[in-house]
Amino acid sequence: MTDDLRLPSWRPGPARDSVIGFLDAAPELPEAERLACFDNDGTLWVERPTYVQWDFFVDALTTRSAEDASLAREPELAAVLGGDRAAIAELGLVRIAMALNGLFASITPEAFTAAAREFMSRAEHPTLGRRHASNTYQPMLELIAELRALDFAVTISTGGGAEFVRAVSQDLYGIPPESVVGTLVQYEYSPDDLGRPRLLRTRGVFGDANEGATKVTNIQTQLGRRPCLAAGNSAGDREMLDWALTGDGPSLALLLDHDDDEREVAYASEAGTFDAVEPILEVAERSGWTVVSMRRDWETVFAPDPA
């Protein structure tokens, strides 16, 4: 396939040239080393003004609180219900996440998956006027397709809950659940009344949030290989992007810059669970990453609505 037919939603320029150069060189890699890891929020789909998974939890909380007024007495849930940004910041993301996880405690993973898919089938983005399920980035989907044609294993490493992304990754990206690395909820093994094996969710999280250096250790622990391509958008992806460039052979680190205030939202990406010591674009320039400008480098931003 000629270069002008590849990545049709990518405009000509240094970023596209860098990606095409990597794709051309990738056959030099043994197939066992062809692993690509993509961040999810802000890299494969929209993350502003709020994360999609946050909207999912708020939707569930709103419904549940109408049926059970006692939920509003829990400080973390009261802050979310009231949209109290100051209280949310004071309580901290970890406490808030634990409380929201509690909404789905004591249900099976299958029931959680069904709830996530039901939400994604109807929920709309609050400002773009599009369904959440249609807010995937077309240029990234094209890159994923090119990688698959080269026999890459394509995976996701997300700071969000692994189970939520696993519920939708196959439909949205063609990435199977077992290829999603993320923040892990804890499960309890609890046989049912007939003594049959059963797993139930808890409100706890296993280990640390999947950001920063934890992304690297979790990729190794859960996938067993280092990626030769990594793509992200924030300081939460820094270590993963650096790690991708340390292997032998062709490699590529992509950083998506959200600089398009007409077609999406213009903002400086930040990690969700820690404060970065320097702007991620400065890190990218010093580290030799490829910066992708949404405004400059993408002809099309969003994929067609799958509905």
Strands 229-232 and 199-206: unpaired
Give the percent of the chain with pLDDT over 90.
89
Q: Which tokens is 169 given? A: 């990754």
Specify the pLDDT at position 162. 97
The band of 277, judged by pLDDT with boundaries at 50, 70 and 90, is: confident
Instruction: Give the whole-angstrom CA distance, residue 130 versus residue 98.
Output: 29
Task: Report the mean per-residue pLDDT for the chain.
Answer: 95
Q: pLDDT tens digits, residue range 29-77?
A: 999 999 999 999 999 999 999 999 999 999 999 999 999 999 989 999 9
Of the two residues 184 and 277, the one the predictor is more confident about is 184
**pLDDT at residue 45 in the model:** 98
Q: Which residues pair with 255 in a beta bridge?
A: 232, 291
Say whether pLDDT at 24 is over 80: yes
306, pLDDT greater than 90: no
Confidence of residue 223 (pLDDT cuts 50, 70, 90): very high
Overall average pLDDT of the 147-154 stretch = 98
Residue 156 CA: distances (Å) to CA of 85, 116, 180, 188, 304? 29, 17, 5, 25, 21
pLDDT at 74 (0 to 100): 93
Q: What is the mean pLDDT of residues 208-227?
A: 97
According to the model, what pLDDT value does residue 3 have? 59
Angle between helices 14-25 and 138-149 (to 10 degrees): 20
Query: Which residues make beta-bridge pairs with 136?
Result: 45
Whole-angstrom distance, CA of residue 174 vs CA of residue 44: 12
Give residue for tokens 């052979």.
249
- Mean pLDDT, range 97-109, rounded to an integer: 94
The pLDDT of residue 4 is: 66
pLDDT-wise least confident of 51-55, 81-85, 175-179: 81-85
Residue range 87-107: average pLDDT? 91
Q: Residue 1: is its pLDDT beyond 80?
A: no
Question: Domains (ranges, CATH) in the chain?
Answer: 3-297 (3.40.50.1000)
Residue 272 to residues 117, 256, 265, Cα–Cα distance (Å): 24, 16, 17
Residue 271, pLDDT score: 86
Confidence of residue 2 (pLDDT cuts 50, 70, 90): low
Beta strands in the chain (DSSP E): 35-38, 153-161, 180-189, 199-206, 229-232, 252-257, 290-293
CB 49 within 8 A of CB 265: yes
| Residue 241 in this model has a pLDDT that exceeds 60 | yes
Task: Name the residue among 226, 265, 266, 270 with its Cα closest to residue 249.
Answer: 226
Looking at residue 273, what is its pLDDT?
83
* Residue 25: predicted pLDDT: 98
For residue 139, pLDDT over 70 is answered with yes
- CB of 134 closer than 8 Å to CB of 306: yes
What's the pTM? 0.95
